Structure 1
Amino acid sequence: MGKKGDLSNFKRGMVVGARRAGLSISQSAQLLGFSRTTISRVYKEWCAKGKTSSMRQSCGRKCLVDARGQRRMGRLIQADRRATLTEITTRYNRGMQQSICEATTRTTLRRMGYNSRRPHRVPLISTTNRKKRLQFARAHQNWTVEDWKNVAWSDESRFLLRHSNGRVRIWRKQNENMDPSCLVTTVQAGGGGVMVWGMFSWHTLGPLVPIGHCLNATAYLSIVSDHVHPFMTTMYPSSDGYFQQDNAPCHKARIISNWFLEHENEFTVLKWPPQSPDLNPIEHLWDVVERELRALDVHPTNLHQLQDAILSIWANISK
């Protein structure tokens, strides 16, 4: 690759054209805006080589990994995405006449467009669950935005009082690694937390219900009767609403299924594929609440304050 100051082939052609047209070095420099040295050098190179391409572009050490080597390295990446730079270099050098170092591997991978990134986390889905997710997608592939407006989404989430924030970074010197101001304290089990159940639809936020203990079928039945039923009948008086819930054991209990059967003329329970939290848009609301909690100027010091903060943040989420 040429240096930053190299002229493009087009500009070098302009220089040659000006000189061949009979202009002097000074006249060419004044016309094109280049220095007299540049005009002289470019025209002299053209006279000697008959080329208008930069001779500097061929300078520098030849790349040790050619197109064939890049294809070989690409196959190594495809075979093992989690391989370290050392492992990739070692595997590449096997059977090669000229070995390369890790720096060359890094440069080559960047030239090929590869960068080391943290993988996205997705649910572990079995073959059976994949088929059920595909059935769900095919059953709803023709739904319009107006159809999805009739869905009320729900889920439970747990917020910890204290948690280790992996996204926190600090500025410190090499010998300050154990300085109190450079430490992040952790508490076993996060110091306790608050479990909440919430729901929302296209039109508005629904209720957010704190769950004091483990959510069982009896507690969930009270949530369904006291919160889900009035929300669905109010938002969808024409009985065209869909209530979404996941396949947690308490959601599939017999008393819950019987209650939904008794009210099936008022709204419909959306059939949900297993292990599919990534399909539920309420996950974005939980992320909003989590971020707002971390951004508080005064962080909660007990579970009661944490619960109040969560309810306040939920109530202030804009449409």
Structure 2
Amino acid sequence: MGSGTELGRETIVAIITLYKEGYKCKDIATRVGIGVCQVQKWIKKFRDGGGEDIPTPKPRSGRPRKIQNRTSKVIKRQLDKNPTLTARKLKENNPALLQDVSVRCISDHLLKDLQYRSCCAKVLPLLSAKNVWDRIAFSKKYKDWTLEDWEQVLWSDESTFVVSSGCRSKRVRRPKGSDPNDPRYTAKVVKHAPSVMVWGCFAFGGVGNLVFFEKNECKSAQLFRVIV
């Protein structure tokens, strides 16, 4: 807990109670879960007050937090259930809790306080129930294979590549009022760009050569055996 964080009433009571029972500051800090300096600070306030009443924290200066702990827990619970929620959507879904909170404030709270950063979702293949069971069956079938068995296996795959340069990220600078359709300010795209299929393989001894297929060429199992 940082030095600038105000302690709750229950924590302060626990500090003073343990102090009265004879615990040292280091032991109190370990039991309560705060820094030793915080413990020493509240014990000093207790002594300066006469050693009878439990000291209370002074109200903090500045504007109070817009998002309280209860609201923060609600936001975190909703994000854990649906990570695609945006700050704007959270505000729309919780009008009673966030009606006086700006979208920017919610966004800052997500990043700085809850440490939920926005990032691109990792792309993974969509697996059907059959795909899952097939993978499990494959794993069980070959789980007892030895290294010598796997040395006899050839792994292969193919992929199609579009032979065209991308232009989605191309940026141009044009003067205000100019024609956006001017050829100087446009990027050319091909509607049906040419593509090529590439086949490759690897085994225990290393990788094989890449094989390029012509368009509409048959990629049969017999052709693969010839290539290998």
TM superposition score normalised by structure 2: 0.60
Matched, 1:155 2:167: no
Distance change >3 Å, CA 207–CA 87, structure 1 → 2: same
Distance change >3 Å, CA 149–CA 60, structure 1 → 2: farther
Query: After superposition, what is the alpha-carbon deviation per residue over 1:22-45, rounded to whole angstroms, capped at 9, x for unaligned?
Result: xxxxxxxxxxxxxxxxxxxxxxx9
Query: After superposition, what is the alpha-carbon deviation per residue over 1:84-114, rounded to whole angstroms, capped at 9, x for unaligned?
Result: 3211111122x33863110121012112121
The residue type paired with residue 187 of structure 1 is: V
Partner of 1:96: 97
Alignment of 1:197-276 (within 5 A): 197-216=199-218, 219-228=219-228
Partner of 1:39: none
Partner of 2:68: 66
Q: How far is the alpha carbon of 1:76 from its aligned partner?
A: 2.3
Distance change >3 Å, CA 200–CA 61, structure 1 → 2: same
Partner of 2:80: 78
Partner of 2:108: 107
Q: Which has the higher contact order (CA 8 A, sep 6+)?
A: 1
Instruction: Tell me the C-alpha RMSD between the 2 structures.
Output: 4.4
Q: How far is the alpha carbon of 1:150 from its aligned partner?
A: 4.8
Q: For the residues of structure 2 that align with 1:220 and 1:73, how far apart are their CA atoms? A: 54
Q: For the residues of structure 2 that align with 1:79 and 1:92, how far apart are their CA atoms? A: 15
Distance change >3 Å, CA 143–CA 224, structure 1 → 2: same
Distance change >3 Å, CA 170–CA 115, structure 1 → 2: farther
Alignment of 1:273-312 (within 5 A): none
The residue type paired with residue 188 of structure 2 is: T
The one of 116, 119, 127 aligned to 1:117: 119
Partner of 1:247: none
Alignment partner of 2:212: what SS?
Answer: strand
The residue type paired with residue 188 of structure 1 is: K
Q: How far is the alpha carbon of 1:183 from its aligned partner?
A: 5.0
Partner of 1:129: 131
The residue type paired with residue 100 of structure 2 is: S
The residue type paired with residue 220 of structure 2 is: Y
Q: For the residues of structure 2 that align with 1:207 and 1:88, how far apart are their CA atoms? A: 52
Partner of 1:87: 89
CA contact 2:162–2:194 (8 Å) conserved in 1: yes
Distance change >3 Å, CA 151–CA 88, structure 1 → 2: farther
Q: How far is the alpha carbon of 1:142 from its aligned partner?
A: 6.1
TM superposition score normalised by structure 1: 0.45
CA contact 2:198–2:212 (8 Å) conserved in 1: yes
CA contact 2:163–2:195 (8 Å) conserved in 1: yes
Query: After superposition, what is the alpha-carbon deviation per residue over 1:34-78, rounded to whole angstroms, capped at 9, x for unaligned?
Result: xxxxxxxxxxx9xx999xxxx9x9443222222221221123223
The residue type paired with residue 96 of structure 1 is: L
Partner of 1:188: 191
Q: For the residues of structure 1 that align with 2:147 and 2:173, how far apart are their CA atoms? A: 50
The residue type paired with residue 208 of structure 1 is: L
Distance change >3 Å, CA 89–CA 195, structure 1 → 2: same
The residue type paired with residue 226 of structure 2 is: D
Unpaired runs of 5+ residues, structure 2, are 5-34, 51-56
Distance change >3 Å, CA 75–CA 138, structure 1 → 2: farther
